[in-house]
Amino acid sequence: MSSTGSKTTSYGELTDSGPNRMSAPASETRRWVSEPPRRTLDDVRQQAAQSVAIQAIQEAEDVDGSKVGVVITLSRSSGERFLKLIAESISQVLQSKRFLFAVAAPSAVPQEPCPFLFCGSSETFVERAGLLINSKFLSRIIDSVHISRGMWVGSARGLTETSYDELAFWDVVRKSVRNDIDPLVPPPGSRSVQQLLIAARARLERVTPQRAYAELHDTTTPWPIILVDIRPEFQRRVEGIIQGALIVERNMLEWRFDPRCTERYALADRYDLRILVIDQDGTTSSLAAASLHDLGMLNATDIIGGYVGWREIGLPSQIGPSVPQLARG
């Protein structure tokens, strides 16, 4: 019984204790009588899994019209295969209903990785559960795989060594099946990302890739001009780079270009600095440039179409030597 009042089903996996021994027929006259088929270990495991599944369903909670439950096997030798048999049995019984169950095996040795899984009636349920359990089991998840058809399988160190793990599983399954909040009824004062993007662009004089390239080569402007690439490293590695662009990932942009910040670049010591922000497709860059306006960098803007637009019109990928970082002032 869970400390929260919820029932957690526990059941041991049967292990092979050797073949059943049957006595020989008493006489030759009985040899014609056919013996009943012997049950295999797989048959026994399947029956045990079905029993666990039925008990778990009987003890499940109802959350927003969905059945939720947690199964902790008693046997510390229960492997992923047995957990999947339980999950499949639950799915068969509840195939026409909404549900989400956590099924786990306890660790036999402290900090030993042990399997667990989520099985549910929808991909959304199991995906939510997989994301939430990673946050609950920080630094403990060893492996995780989102298997199709409503199953998410993982392993974690020290599973169920404390009562916290059972509480965490219950918390995850309950929260993962809650009905969606109506996106058309947002909290007062909130704005969608599309509204934020429109508002940001209303403050900018955005430039085309051709215009940006021309500005970067213009030697007559009274202010310094710099091209800033805010794409993450993995995207630059896959998609390509513009040699000569200053690489500043998005999370550091304001700190590097606020003239009042001690972490700023030496170049960012004036408010008329012309900053041309580029991202992959020209969306995040608009929000970033608007944030620079909030700092007082009113000469900042972004490039329409981003790196994709730059590359599509055949602009060179090399403007000058690569400048991944500058000295800070």
Please give the CATH architecture assigned to the domain spanning 193-312: 3-Layer(aba) Sandwich (3.40)
Please give the CATH architecture assigned to the domain spanning 8-15+39-176: Roll (3.10)
Burial code of 7-37, b = ≥16 C-beta within 10 A, e = fewer? bbbbbebeeeeeeeeeeeeeeeeeeeeeeee
Torsions phi, psi of 146, nearest 5? -90, 100
**pLDDT grade for 109, boundaries at 50, 70 and 90:** confident
Residues sharing a CB contact under 8 Å with residue 217, sequence separation 6 or more, in sequence order: none
Q: List helix spans (H) across 137-283.
A: 163-176, 193-202, 209-216, 233-239, 253-257
Say if CB 59 and CB 69 are below 8 A apart. Answer: yes
Q: Which amino acid belongs to residue 281? A: D
- For the chain, the residue count is 329
Lowest mean pLDDT, pick from 179-193, 208-222, 242-256: 179-193
pLDDT digits (tens, 9 = 90+) for 277-293: 999 999 999 999 999 99
In the block, tokens 């229960």 appear at: 78
Domain ranges of the chain: 8-15+39-176, 193-312
Residues sharing a CB contact under 8 Å with residue 83, sequence separation 6 or more, in sequence order: 73, 103, 104, 105, 115, 116, 117
At residue 32, does pLDDT exceed 70? Answer: no
At residue 9, does pLDDT exceed 70? Answer: no
Question: Which pLDDT value is given to residue 42?
Answer: 80
Q: Once rounded to an integer, what is the mean pLDDT over residues 203-207?
A: 98
Q: How far apart are CA 128 and CA 137, in angstroms?
A: 14
Q: How far apart are CA 325 and CA 322, in angstroms?
A: 9
Q: What is the model's pTM?
A: 0.70
First to last CA, the chain: 61
Question: Which pLDDT value is given to residue 5?
Answer: 60
Q: Which amino acid belongs to residue 143? A: D
Residues sharing a CB contact under 8 Å with residue 327, sequence separation 6 or more, in sequence order: 265, 266
Q: Which secondary structure element, helix H or strand E, spans residue 163, and what is its range?
A: helix 163-176
**pLDDT grade for 3, boundaries at 50, 70 and 90:** very low
Q: Once rounded to an integer, what is the mean pLDDT over residues 85-103?
A: 96
Question: Which pLDDT value is given to residue 322?
Answer: 44
Q: How far apart are CA 241 and CA 244, in angstroms?
A: 9
Dihedral sign from CA coordinates of 61, 63, 65, 66 = negative
Q: How far apart are CA 61 and CA 48, in angstroms?
A: 22
Nearest CA to 114 among 70, 170, 72? 72
Q: Once rounded to an integer, what is the mean pLDDT over residues 73-85?
A: 82
Q: How far apart are CA 127 and CA 132, in angstroms?
A: 9
DSSP one-letter string for 79-106 = -HHHHHHHHHHHHHHTTTS-EEEEEE--
